[in-house]
Amino acid sequence: MIATSPPTADYYYEKEFTDFLAKDRNTCVVFLHSATFELGIPELILALNSLGGQPMDGVVLHLFGESPPVSFWRTASSIVRQCYGIEHVAVADHGMSIEDSFFKHIPFTFLRLFKDETAIPPQDRMYSFCSLNRTARPDRVRLVHHFKQDNILHRGIVSLGSDGDPYPYHEILDADFARQMPLLIDNLGADRERSTYESIPDIVKQSIVNVIAEGAMVQAGIHTVEDTFIRPLISEKTTKAFACNQLPIWLATPGFVAHLRDKGFDVFDDLIDHSYDSELHTVKRIEIIAHEVKKLVNMGIDPLREFLQKNWSRLEHNRQHRFHVAGENEKDAEHRIRRLYRR
């Protein structure tokens, strides 16, 4: 196996590639760093050119922590086949499984992360909710703006744009609020890799409700293509909520909550109205989500603590069930890797 630009940190490397790829085949694994056409496709071409014409039996294209549109993977696969003459192509990411004639898809999972984290008892929770938005996108900025308008920002732990990337906040927020950006929480933006994939800060674990921003729309530069959704992605953000025994609300692709129900997770329909999950219009969906967060926060922190206490076994179910789902995902990924050279 030849790997181009592998990740620098061992715990990000999907070792299953080396475990399950055919030993008698020359396979190139290309680690991409972008899921955008303007960045990802040139990166792919540079990686393939760096092989210097070495004959390859197959190529695996890997995007860590991403779930690009199917059109991106089709374009990349077509380049590999038509421009480099390599017939066998697989793509690997963390989105939901794809069945497509252009490539074989290998889905990976984040659900095994944070296995050693301990959940803080309900009586020790200090905050009604948290909403972590490292990357500022229009849907996330609008959601945080609703929190400000509903006067609940001070009752939760909220970040926005802590990654430091420039964003035109003034296009969505009022002038005074825009000048307060980015919103930071402790040092969550100081060490992106550690705070994202290795540990969960106590200030986050002390929240009861977790408003989870799973990538919802296609990004084009600093702007977002409204109502053009990426494939559903269960990222480390959802895993953190399960690991912390938190009540989840998702700003995500429509149908995301239904998918988690189908996987056997408890989404607490007896307390949380997830009707936003079927709303296709982005702005309207954000309004519904914000209203639901406000409803829960206005219950008061003591009733929320009491709900956690009474339903702790359900939270523990989600905490443990994620490993079962991860196991199913891993078996699926192994099966798909082994099928790379099969017709």
pLDDT, tens digit (0-9, with 9 covering 90-100), for 29-70? 998 988 888 999 999 999 999 988 889 999 999 998 888 888
C-beta separation of 107 from 333 below 8 A: yes
> Both 181 and 284 in a single domain?
yes
Question: Which range marks the domain in which residue 14 is found?
Answer: 2-108
Q: Is position 312 within any domain?
A: yes
Which of 127, 28, 12, 25 is CA-nearest to residue 64?
12
Count: domains in the chain: 2
In a domain, 253, yes or no: yes
Q: Is 107 helix (H, G, I), strand (E, B) or coil?
A: strand
Find out whether 141 and 222 touch, Cβ atoms under 8 Å: no
Percent pLDDT > 70 in the chain is 88
> Which letter does DSSP use for residue 195 in this model?
I
Q: What is the rounded CA–CA span in Å between residue 105 and residue 25?
A: 19
Q: Are residues 186 and 68 in the same domain?
A: no
Based on the fold, state whether residues 95 and 162 are members of the same structural domain.
no
Alpha helices in the chain (DSSP H): 16-20, 37-49, 70-84, 138-149, 175-178, 192-193, 202-205, 236-243, 256-262, 282-297, 301-310, 312-338
Note whether residue 327 is domain-resident.
no
314-324 pLDDT, tens digit each: 999 999 999 99
The answer to whether 161 and 188 have CB atoms below 8 angstroms apart is no
| Structure-block tokens of residue 337 | 């890797």
Most confident of 40-49, 267-276, 328-337: 267-276
Question: What is the pairing mode between strands 104-107 and 2-4?
Answer: unpaired
DSSP-derived secondary structure for 154-173: GGEEE-BSTT-----GGGTS
Please check whether residue 333 lies inside any domain of the structure.
no
- Determine the angle formed by the axes of helices 301-310 and 312-338, rounding to 10 degrees: 70
From the list 296, 299, 247, 286, the residue with the least C-alpha distance to 144 is: 286
- Residue written as tokens 């977790």? 210
For residues 213 and 282, what is the distance between their CA atoms, to the nearest angstrom?
13
My answer on whether 156 and 293 are in the same domain is yes
State residue 245 phi and psi, 5-degree precision.
55, 55
Indicate the residue among 108, 136, 156 that finishes a domain: 108
The answer to whether the pTM exceeds 0.85 is yes
Tokens of 255: 């149908």
pLDDT at 16: 61
Shared domain for 294 and 149, answered yes or no, is yes
Q: Are 25 and 343 in contact (CB under 8 A)?
A: no
What's the mean pLDDT in 210-215?
Answer: 91
Note whether 259 and 156 are same-domain residues: yes
> Given this model, what pLDDT does residue 249 score?
98
Which pLDDT tens digit goes with each residue over 75-106? 999 999 999 999 999 999 988 888 888 899 99
Does residue 117 sit within a domain? no
Residue 218 pLDDT > 90: no
Which pLDDT does position 222 carry in this prediction? Answer: 44
Predicted local confidence at residue 270, as pLDDT? 98
pLDDT band (50, 70, 90) for residue 189: low
- The answer on 168 and 100 residing in a single domain is no
Per-residue pLDDT, 95: 87
The tokens for 231 are: 């494939």
Q: Are 217 and 225 in contact (CB under 8 A)?
A: yes
